[in-house]
Structure 1
Amino acid sequence: MIQSFLPIVNFSNQTLILATMPGVTSLEKQEYYANPSNHF
């Protein structure tokens, strides 16, 4: 089973951001958009 990054929680937060599951490469490197095929 694939698990995502841990949430960043601060009790003064007022915004919730939802996103898709990071890819396997990003999860292995513990970094969003870590896959070299992501072109920005």
Structure 2
Amino acid sequence: GDNVMEYTLECARADVTEGEMRRAFVEAFGSWKPPIYR
């Protein structure tokens, strides 16, 4: 995967909110779900 720090900093400099960043990352990478251990 790509290093997202560069994109995160670019968003922060552009005054993008955390919610906007989260939505963009979820759209791009999907949301993380913990594995289920049985």
Q: TM-score range by the shorter chain?
A: under 0.3
Higher helix share: 2
